[in-house]
């Protein structure tokens, strides 16, 4: 395994600028020969080693060298390596736009091989294929849907005599009940790479996309904006929760791991975060702790509630790497056999049908919602450039810290969206 080094902030900024232009790396890539494959994945991933083991067994003589990269450094490290021509053959890629290693951002530099002809692409509808690439090309495969539920520590709920909230008023009541027992209702990680953006996505799913499922298309056409939409209501409600003491004290100084520990230990009753982090929460919890998920309500009518669901991060093929072997690996990763390994090894919700799939007990609470029409895509997957995401994150931190207003935050996001 290669040694992993952190990328400083200056390098991240440089990488983002370089991606706006053309590819500048050498033609050598990182592919060595037909029997060695290099792969940049997630640090602590329990699933990928099992997929690699089976791929090597199915392809005698092939060796996969896996490098696990931590969040959020993975964004800048893969970005920088693709730009410099030193990236691995298979790399993590996010769907849509919104960060330095999304499919549509990387497409600008022609860093990824075209996977449009692969057989597994037919399992995905046009909307999914659109965020898996650009200009009609599929540039990555994602084997999972990422869900943003509210996840609750059942023992912490029971200690308060509370139940899972299904209305906004019940959310506020949970906050009050938790504070009375020296707990908080929701762990919130406000540092970079934390969970604070997911709470906003959970609120806008119901308040923005619920009443207007065409909001993203209308925004792209210039017919609506952040400022003249229910995004303002969502931010107001976020601040209402903050003022009610619903969140971790000093949330802006709280890391992702600390927030996960808080809900795992029952110091926080719940957390709103992406489903692929729930395994981490479960591993941090004392033996016997159980968790339950549900969509986060944003109104007092439960029928209004919409669950954020999007394609999760997946993998793409470095166009300057060992393309043939890398494509063969991604084909296996996206195959029914590969997805079955992932389903059996982790807490993913597969992005294509897998025979015999049963959600983990923790995700059972949102299974019906995921399979219904009461879902909304993650908004950042349709934003036109990665800068919108960065401005959104910066403004949200300032809003939570009392350093800007809802009006000014939304205006800054509109400027970024239209730039």
Q: How far is CA 412 from CA 130, 200, 407, 415, in A?
A: 27, 16, 9, 5
Buried b (16+ CB within 10 A) or exposed e, 153-188: beebbeebebebbbbbebbbbbbebbeeeebbbbbb
Strand partners, 147: 309
9-142+312-352 topology per CATH: D-Maltodextrin-Binding Protein; domain 2 (3.40.190)
**CATH code, 147-309+375-418:** 3.40.190.10
Question: pLDDT of 151-187, one tens digit each?
Answer: 999 999 999 999 999 999 999 999 999 999 999 999 9
pTM: 0.77
Print pLDDT tens along the chain (419 aa).
Answer: 322 223 333 333 333 333 333 333 333 344 446 899 999 999 988 899 999 999 999 999 999 999 999 988 999 999 999 999 999 999 999 998 878 999 999 999 999 999 999 999 998 888 788 899 999 999 999 999 899 999 999 999 999 999 999 999 999 999 999 999 999 999 999 998 899 999 999 999 999 999 999 999 899 999 999 999 999 999 999 999 999 999 999 999 999 999 999 999 999 999 999 998 998 999 999 999 999 999 999 999 999 999 999 898 999 999 999 999 999 999 999 999 999 999 888 667 898 888 888 888 898 899 888 878 899 989 988 898 888 999 999 999 999 999 999 999 999 999 999 99
On whether the CB atoms of residues 162 and 177 are closer than 8 A, the answer is yes
Over the stretch 70-109, which tens digit does the pLDDT of each residue have? 988 999 999 999 999 999 999 999 998 878 999 999 999 9
User: CATH 3.40.190.10 residue ranges in the chain?
Assistant: 9-142+312-352, 147-309+375-418
Residue 348: CB partners within 8 Å, gap ≥ 6?
47, 143, 144, 275, 276, 312, 342
Those residues whose C-beta lies under 8 Å from the C-beta of residue 133, and which sit 6 or more positions away, are: 103, 104, 107, 114, 115, 116, 139, 140
Contacts (Cβ under 8 Å, ≥6 apart) of 79: 12, 15, 16, 19, 100, 101
């Amino acid at each position: 395994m290669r040694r992993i080094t952190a990328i400083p902030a200056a390098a991240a900024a440089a990488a983002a600028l370089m991606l706006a232009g053309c590819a500048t790396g050498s033609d050598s890539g990182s592919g060595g020969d037909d029997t060695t494959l290099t792969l940049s994945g997630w640090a602590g991933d329990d699933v990928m080693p099992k997929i690699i083991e089976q791929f090597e067994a199915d392809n005698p003589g092939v060796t996969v060298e896996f490098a696990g990269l931590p969040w959020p450094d993975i964004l800048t490290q893969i970005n920088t390596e693709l730009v410099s021509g030193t990236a691995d053959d298979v790399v993590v890629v996010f769907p849509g736009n919104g960060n330095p290693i999304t499919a549509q951002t990387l497409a600008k530099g022609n860093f990824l091989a075209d996977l449009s002809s692969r057989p597994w692409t037919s399992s995905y509808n046009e909307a999914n294929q659109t965020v898996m690439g650009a200009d009609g090309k599929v540039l990555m495969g994602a084997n999972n849907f990422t869900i943003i539920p509210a996840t609750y520590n059942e023992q912490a709920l029971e200690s308060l005599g509370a139940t899972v909230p299904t209305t906004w008023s019940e959310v506020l009541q949970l906050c009050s009940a938790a504070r009375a027992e020296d707990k908080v209702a929701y762990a919130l990680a406000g540092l970079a790479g934390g969970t604070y953006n997911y709470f906003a996505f959970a609120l806008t799913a119901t308040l923005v996309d619920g009443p207007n499922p065409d909001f993203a298309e209308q925004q792209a056409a210039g017919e609506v904006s952040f400022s003249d939409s229910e995004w303002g209501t969502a931010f107001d409600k976020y601040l209402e929760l903050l003022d009610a003491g619903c969140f971790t004290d000093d949330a802006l100084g709280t890391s992702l791991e600390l927030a996960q520990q808080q809900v795992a230990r029952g110091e926080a009753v719940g957390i709103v975060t992406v489903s692929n982090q729930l395994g981490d929460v479960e591993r941090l919890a004392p033996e016997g702790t159980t968790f339950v998920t549900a969509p986060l309500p944003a109104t007092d009518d439960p029928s209004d509630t919409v669950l954020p669901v999007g394609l999760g991060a997946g993998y793409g093929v470095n166009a300057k790497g060992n393309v043939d072997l890398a494509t063969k690996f991604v084909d296996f990763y996206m195959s029914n056999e590969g997805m079955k390994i992932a389903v059996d090894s982790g807490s993913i919700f597969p992005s294509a049908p897998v025979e015999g799939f049963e959600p983990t007990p923790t995700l059972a609470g949102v299974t019906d919602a995921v399979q219904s029409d009461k879902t909304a895509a993650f908004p950042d997957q349709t934003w036109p450039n990665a800068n919108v995401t960065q401005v959104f994150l910066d403004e949200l931190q300032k809003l939570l810290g009392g350093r800007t207003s809802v009006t000014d935050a939304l205006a800054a996001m509109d400027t970024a969206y239209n730039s």
